[in-house]
Amino acid sequence: MVCRANKAWILIATTLLLVAPLGAQSWQLVWHDEFNYTGLPDPQKWDYDVGGGGWGNNELQYYTANDADNARVDGSSLIIEARQENLGGYNYTSARLVTRGKADWKYGRFDIRARLPYGQGLWPALWLLPSDWVYGGWAASGEIDIMELVGHVTNQVHGTLHYGGTSPNNVQSGAAYTLSSGAFNDDFHLFTLEWVPGEFRWYVDGTLYATQNSWWSSGGVYPAPFEQDFHLLFNVAVGGNWPGPPNPSTVFPQQMVVDYVRVYQSSGVAPSVGITAPGNGAALAAGVPFTISADASDDDGTVTRVKFYQGDGFLGRMPASRIPLPSKKSPARGVMPSPPWQSIMTSIPQCRKW
């Protein structure tokens, strides 16, 4: 895994990006709710955010807890229902279910099959928030939106990351997916997020529509804030800055119906990586361009990039673009650092899987 060049060790680190077809990777089911019971949502898995106050978005609903009118399981599905009724000084009620304090994850695949509400002023969301807010208040510690829909656009959903500084210095980036026909309230659709170290991927019904691998946090260095534990939230908001308020055309009650939620994580098997050229112990002159080749494979999927480091100094990668390695072997060009970098890496070389 290492070669010696002018008494300097070269450290190889691998970035594993799972690009095999959805479902063909070594994901292991670690948490799920099939909603095959009746009554209130399972208290071993779900808690509630309760109250009004706008929730930072000037929303108009009051979220209840342990109220079957707003959140219930009917033997096959979870139903979150937004209703037009007075409670706590608000004209609408709904529910916001959370796994905070019960289950959270760092990295994984999240599959949620759901049918969505519709109508002006409705705002259903399936999303994740940090459990510990390590890097500061929203959104310095991040937010991951698996799916959001604004109810007057019934055929389009959004996948978004929120990050940057604490509000108002937050930023966001994301993409939308539009159905070729029909609406998201017509039938169930599968919303999937794959979150691996350094990358997020969004799917609808198995179709990849967005990939993100660039973000930042005022509270820490990349990949902060998205290398911490996050928990799930399911809710249907009414009104708010994005959808605006309901109007006379909006029909109540409205339901988000969730068939199931399944969380998977990688099997965690470390990749196999070895430098094939130059050979171990090869002598290379400082400042002279050279080529490094490596052989890489992994049980979880295709290794699409291998990065070469000397200490913290980046030497190069293979291949240059993000495409699968057909033979899992490809050369990378690099330049040996100047003499001040020599002997900077003296510990036992490692292979890191992110």
Residue 242 tokens read as 């994005």
Query: Amino acid identity, residue 69?
Result: D
Q: How far is CA 225 from CA 42, 166, 176, in A?
A: 30, 12, 23
Q: In this structure, are strands 305-310 and 11-15 parallel, antiparallel, or unpaired?
A: antiparallel
Q: How far is 3 from 175, CA to CA, in rounded Å?
A: 43
Q: How far is 203 from 159, CA to CA, in rounded Å?
A: 9
- Residue 162 phi/psi, 5° resolution? -115, 135
Q: How far is 189 from 181, CA to CA, in rounded Å?
A: 13
Q: How far is 227 from 107, CA to CA, in rounded Å?
A: 8
Q: How far is 179 from 177, CA to CA, in rounded Å?
A: 7
Q: How far is 335 from 291, CA to CA, in rounded Å?
A: 8
Distance, CA of 279 to chain centre: 39
DSSP-derived 3-state class of residue 81: strand
Q: Is 143 annotated as catalytic?
A: yes
For residue 79, give the nearest of 124, 110, 129, 145 by alpha carbon.
Answer: 124
Q: Is 148 annotated as catalytic?
A: yes
Evaluate whether 118 touches 67 at the Cβ level (below 8 Å).
no
Please pick, among 59, 81, 143, 199, the residue that the annotation labels catalytic: 143
For residue 293, give the nearest of 302, 280, 283 by alpha carbon.
Answer: 280
The angle formed by the CA atoms of residues 184, 124 and 219, to the nearest 5 degrees, is 125
Q: How far is 69 from 80, CA to CA, in rounded Å?
A: 8
Please pick, among 59, 81, 85, 148, the residue that the annotation labels catalytic: 148
* Residue in the block written with tokens 């919303």: 191
Q: Which residues are catalytic?
A: 143, 148
